[in-house]
Structure 1
Amino acid sequence: MIKFFRKIRQKMLTENKLRMYFSYAIGEIILVVIGILLALQINNLNEDRKVRNQEKDLISGLIRDLGKDIHLLEIINTYDSLQIISDRTILAAFTTDSIRNNKTLIQKQIANGLLTIDFTVSKTFYEDLKNNGKINYLANDSIRDAVEDYYANMENMNGVFDKNDVSIRDVSVKIGTYLDINSSFQAMIPEFGKQELDEFDNSIFYEPIESPKVKELANLISMRQALKSMVLNIHKIALSDAKALKELLTNYLEEK
């Protein structure tokens, strides 16, 4: 192609057609400039496509982590509710014969009340984005702000979770001094692993509710219920936030 244009120029020069030569030369320059601009445009389009694909990959990774948060929080919220019910059942055993006479039921409620499941936000992917500066690949400012706000709020919530968990564990230890913990947990263990020291002791549930021992135990159980209710409410907020962000990112991804 270059040889072809060169021959045309040489022919014009040898035939003394200067005006045509300059017109042709200008036209050739324009064509070259247009070619360069087209190449730059194609390169820019390729770069834009690359950036969009990177953004899609990042959003997909965030959506996966949010899915993990949602799944875990749904399990924890269900368990939180069961624990609150377990404490209510234990309190009811002091005044309800059908409950305190049912040793298997009481054992299960005592064990349920002592078990805990901790929530830790899935943020490995997000931390990698932030530490490597890839968070800026999120082109939409509102999306980027929503992501950063979510993980900042989760970090604050985790601090509250940790404090409440410590309080709940401390109260549970005190509750354990009044109840037959060994037999309660042994009831949940498969037969091949059981080693119960003696028969389940539910005698405390037959003591007068006016006795200091029963009142102290009831106070501790009510305190644990209140703490668990607070944790449940925070977990519900966390779940709602995770679902809202996942929906926002999913809709944004579908529009790309």
Structure 2
Amino acid sequence: MENKTGKYFKYALGEIVLVVIGILIALQINNWNENRKNKIAEADYYCRILDDFELNEKLIDESSKLIRNKIKICKELILDLNNIPNDRGEILNKFVLALRQDVFIPSTIAFEDITSSGQLKLLTDLELKNRLIQHSTFLNNISNLLQENRNVIINGMDSFELMTEFGYQDMDYLQRELDKEHIDLLPKNNWTNEPNNPIFLKFQDNLVTLIGMLIRQEQHLSNLKKEMQEPIRLLKEKECK
């Protein structure tokens, strides 16, 4: 009986050991699978973030090109305005092109996804992770500065109290909508040919202010593009395919 009890004890102990080993192996396999999934997810996020950066580079280049064209138009307008006699309708229609605000909206889908989902911990490259966080802050600051610039431009346009005196009705899209009987009822003002007219002076000042704000927009975008180069370099080292 003692021999049998000893054998049973050894057998039970062996079973326990096998179960424990099985559990440990299963846990190890599960951890390995989780780590593998995390590595795949991490690599995917790096590639998606890089795609956003490269898209933003293109958006910056396109926006900068539009800004340079608007600056060119404003400089031409100052000359046109002072080339008397001139046509108020032509000047204002040209002004609308320079005034149009093309808002720069960067793509941040991948980084917002990883932060909002609480998966930022998946990024194991601490240097790159910290750099991406810094870039996100920098990008928000640039976006705020661009918005402030747009507000200055809009406020300048709002400074013309009477838009009909300014000649808003001379702009192409309103000319196509308003009939002659409507136009005849509106104020007649030839301020673009009157250098001492307050509207003339204010408009000319607004053109100079607009040029200044456009230059600042271009500088902000240029600074953003420069700031992006280091995180782009770090992301490209991940060899996204």
Match of 2:61 among 74, 82, 96: 74
Q: Which residue of 1 aligns with 2:105?
A: 120
1:1-256 mapped onto 2 (5 Å cutoff) = 47-96=34-83, 100=86, 104=90, 106-174=91-159, 177=163, 179-186=166-173, 194-196=176-178, 203-208=190-195, 210-249=196-235, 251-254=236-239
Distance in 2 (CA, whole Å) between partners of 1:221 and 1:186 is 22
- Tell me the amino acid that sits aligned with residue 209 of structure 2: M
- The DSSP-based 3-state class of the residue aligned with 1:253 is coil
Distance in 1 (CA, whole Å) between partners of 2:178 and 2:225 is 39
Relative to structure 1, the CA distance from residue 246 to residue 214 in structure 2 (aligned partners, 3 Å threshold; closer, same or farther) is: same
Shift of residue 129 of structure 1? 1.0
Shift of residue 167 of structure 1? 1.3
Relative to structure 1, the CA distance from residue 224 to residue 65 in structure 2 (aligned partners, 3 Å threshold; closer, same or farther) is: same
Q: Which residue of 2 aligns with 1:15?
A: none
Relative to structure 1, the CA distance from residue 218 to residue 197 in structure 2 (aligned partners, 3 Å threshold; closer, same or farther) is: farther
CA contact (8 A) 1:69 1:121 kept: yes
TM-score scaled by structure 2?
0.71
- The DSSP-based 3-state class of the residue aligned with 2:177 is coil
CA contact (8 A) 1:100 1:205 kept: yes
Identity, % of aligned positions: 17
- Tell me the amino acid that sits aligned with residue 78 of structure 2: L
Which moved further from structure 2: 222-231 or 88-97? 88-97
Relative to structure 1, the CA distance from residue 183 to residue 39 in structure 2 (aligned partners, 3 Å threshold; closer, same or farther) is: same
Distance in 2 (CA, whole Å) between partners of 1:51 and 1:157 is 33
Which moved further from structure 2: 110-119 or 61-70? 61-70
- What value does the CA root-mean-square deviation take over the aligned residues? 3.7
Distance in 2 (CA, whole Å) between partners of 1:87 and 1:116 is 14
Q: Which residue of 2 aligns with 1:25?
A: none
Shift of residue 48 of structure 1? 4.5
- Tell me the amino acid that sits aligned with residue 55 of structure 1: E
- The DSSP-based 3-state class of the residue aligned with 2:147 is helix
- The DSSP-based 3-state class of the residue aligned with 1:254 is coil
Matched length = 216
Which moved further from structure 2: 175-184 or 46-55? 175-184
CA contact (8 A) 2:93 2:171 kept: yes
> Which consecutive unaligned segments of at least 5 residues does structure 1 have?
1-28
Distance in 2 (CA, whole Å) between partners of 1:197 and 1:161 is 38
Shift of residue 166 of structure 1? 1.2
- Tell me the amino acid that sits aligned with residue 177 of structure 2: Q
TM-score scaled by structure 1?
0.67
CA contact (8 A) 2:48 2:110 kept: yes
- Tell me the amino acid that sits aligned with residue 76 of structure 2: T
- The DSSP-based 3-state class of the residue aligned with 1:155 is helix
CA contact (8 A) 2:74 2:207 kept: yes
Distance in 1 (CA, whole Å) between partners of 2:25 and 2:202 is 82
- Tell me the amino acid that sits aligned with residue 220 of structure 2: I
